[in-house]
Amino acid sequence: MSEIDVKLPSFGRGLSARVLILTILFVLVSGILIYVPSIARFRLDWLEEKLNTAHLAILALEATPDYMIDPELEVRLLNHVGARVIGLRSGDGKNLILRGSTPPLLVDVTVDLSDRGFVRLFEDGLDTLVQSRNRVLRVKGYSPRAADVVVDVVLDEWPLRQALLAYSWRILGFSIVISLITAALLFAALQWLIIRPMRRLTREMVNFRQAPEDQSGDFGRTSRGDEIGLAEREFAEMQEKVRQALMQRARLAALGTAVSKINHDLRGILATARLITDRLAESDNPEVRKAAPALLRSLDRAVDLCSDTLNFTREGPPKPEFETFFLAELVDEVGEGLAKLLGTEKSWVSGVAADLRIRADRGQVYRILRNLGENALQMGAQRVEVRAFEAATGIEIEVADDGPGLPPKALENLFVAFKGSARSGGTGLGLAIARELMRGQGGDLKLVRSSADGAVFALSLPPVAALPH
């Protein structure tokens, strides 16, 4: 496979980088969403733990008869809790206090732990975080160990702030690690599942466009069940079809050249044969003279077949030359052209309004109507009628006959060149060419109905073909 520089977007503008950044962002956002309630919770737990240890510490007083203990022990107990003063009031009215050598001090904030509103807790948590100086807190609340005991602790806020900060850093670090891991995993998955196959598909497309006949770099049959697998299979299918079409086109071109060469020579031969037949017509032998006209007709048919085939293979439909004309006049002309086929018994009836003017290629419409008329009469119709209507979709011209309808063989290959004929001596080009000519003018030709009592064909022309009367 020739290596072609497929211009895929650079990493920064590509899909993977975007997904990478978005993933990191999303995980960080969810980290924040988790962080907000968790600092409130962390602070509450921390303070409750203080109440708990404070309660434990003050219980030491109860062990003494007069609620007095050694001042040194008192200081040690307070240090252990990390409090300056501890107070306790139990349900039975007992008051205990542990204050060591703490001088009277000013409390900055009083925290009542029985107020557990979420917003309140969150605000207080943030408030602690943003403090730049140590505050003295007085924390009150029921002891977690006994529901009827209120513990009162005076302590420094600074250690709480330090713990909160450490906790915040931990959460941030954790979020970053998680987002990096998730992003890396996602990136790898994306690379594996989408980017790589997409690059392969794109490269394949570029290669195919440049050298459609080169099959060396084609996909193997992929068994992927997802959208990419489907795209690969569809592309492989399309490649196959395009390749076939290209090959067929090349062969058809060769065939066309061969046909025109054969035609050319054949027409020369037929011209000679015609000359000889002409002379036969002047023969003294009456038998020979009688055979001459039939022979001439056959030769003419052969020449016509050559010309029609040649014209059909050589070029597509001729470019239409639009003009405006009265349709009824043209229908009458076609009738005159068919005079020989009509003879005296058969009739060509025009039901077209005399003032209906249309815009189309007059010569082509003549040829189409004549073809349809010839077909009907050749198949045994006694009467052929042409009608025309103006509709929102444009002009509709109907050619209806009372013949036997189309035989199955003709219906099977209707409008297919060289295949649609079900008549001895027919080429099978008439309807195919007629439809091509109609489509070239922006219209169409269709078989409307075919039954044992006749066939109806309809020519349609686009709305621009209709003109004001």
Ligand X SMILES: Nc1ncnc2c1ncn2[C@@H]1O[C@H](COP(=O)(O)OP(=O)(O)OP(=O)(O)O)[C@@H](O)[C@H]1O
Residues that bind ligand X (CB under 6 A): 371, 375-376, 379, 401, 403, 405-407, 410, 420-423, 426-432, 455
Looking at the Cβ atoms of 74 and 436, the one nearer to ligand X is 436
Q: What is the 3 state secondary structure string of 224-282? A: CCCHHHHHHHHHHHHHHHHHHHHHHHHHHHHHHHHHHHHHHHHHHHHHHHHHHHHHHHC
**Binding partner selected for residue 129 from ligand X, Mg ion, none, CB under the kind-specific 5 to 8 Å limit:** none
**313 binding Mg ion? (CB under 5 A):** no
Q: Shortest distance, CB of residue 415 to ligand X, whole angstroms?
A: 7
Q: Which is nearer to ligand X, 110 or 451 (CB)?
A: 451
Contact predicate 89/150, CB 8 Å: yes
Least gap, CB of 334 to ligand X (angstroms): 14
Choose from ligand X, Mg ion, none: what does 259 bind? Cβ within 5-8 Å by kind: none
- The answer to whether residues 148 and 90 touch, using CB atoms and an 8 Å cutoff, is yes
- Pick from 308, 299, 304, 310: which is nearest to 272 by CA? 299
d(CA 195, CA 15): 8
Residue 375 CB, nearest approach to Mg ion (Å): 4
Q: Which does 398 bind (CB under 5 to 8 A by kind): Mg ion, ligand X, none?
A: none
CB of 447 to Mg ion, least distance (A): 13
Write out the H or E segment, with its range, that includes residue 460. Answer: strand 454-461
- Residues contacting Mg ion: total by CB under 5 A: 2
128 binds, among Mg ion, ligand X, none (CB under 5 to 8 A by kind): none
53 binds, options ligand X, Mg ion, none, Cβ within 5 to 8 A by partner type: none
CA atoms within 13 A on the CB side of 327: 27
- Segment contacting Mg ion (CB under 5 A): 4-12, 58-66, 393-401, 423-431? 423-431
Interaction partner, residue 427 (Mg ion, ligand X, none; CB < 5-8 Å by kind): ligand X
Q: Which does 401 bind (CB under 5 to 8 A by kind): ligand X, Mg ion, none?
A: ligand X
Contact at 8 Å (CB) between 401 and 374?
no
Q: CB-based contacts of 279: which residues, under 8 Å, 6+ apart? A: none
Q: How far apart are CA 98 and CA 83, in angstroms?
A: 10
Contact call for residue 309 and Mg ion (CB under 5 A):
no
By CB under 5 A, the residues from 343 to 382 that bind Mg ion are: 375
430 lines the binding site for Mg ion (CB under 5 A): yes
In the complex, minimum distance from the CB of residue 421 to Mg ion, in angstroms, rounded to a whole number: 7
CB of 427 to Mg ion, least distance (A): 8
DSSP 466: B
- Edge-to-edge, what's the strand order for the sheet holding 109-112? 95-98, 85-89, 150-156, 136-142, 109-112
Residue corresponding to tokens 């006209």: 293
Angle at 275 between CA 273 and CA 277, to 5 degrees: 70
Which of ligand X, Mg ion, none lies near 438, with the C-beta cut-off 5 to 8 A by kind?
Answer: none
Min CB(374)–Mg ion separation in Å: 6
* Calpha distance 418→431 (Å, rounded): 10
268 vs 380 by CB, closer to Mg ion:
380
- When CB distances to Mg ion are compared, the closest residue is 430
- Min CB(304)–ligand X separation in Å: 8
**Residue ranges binding Mg ion (CB under 5 A):** 375, 430
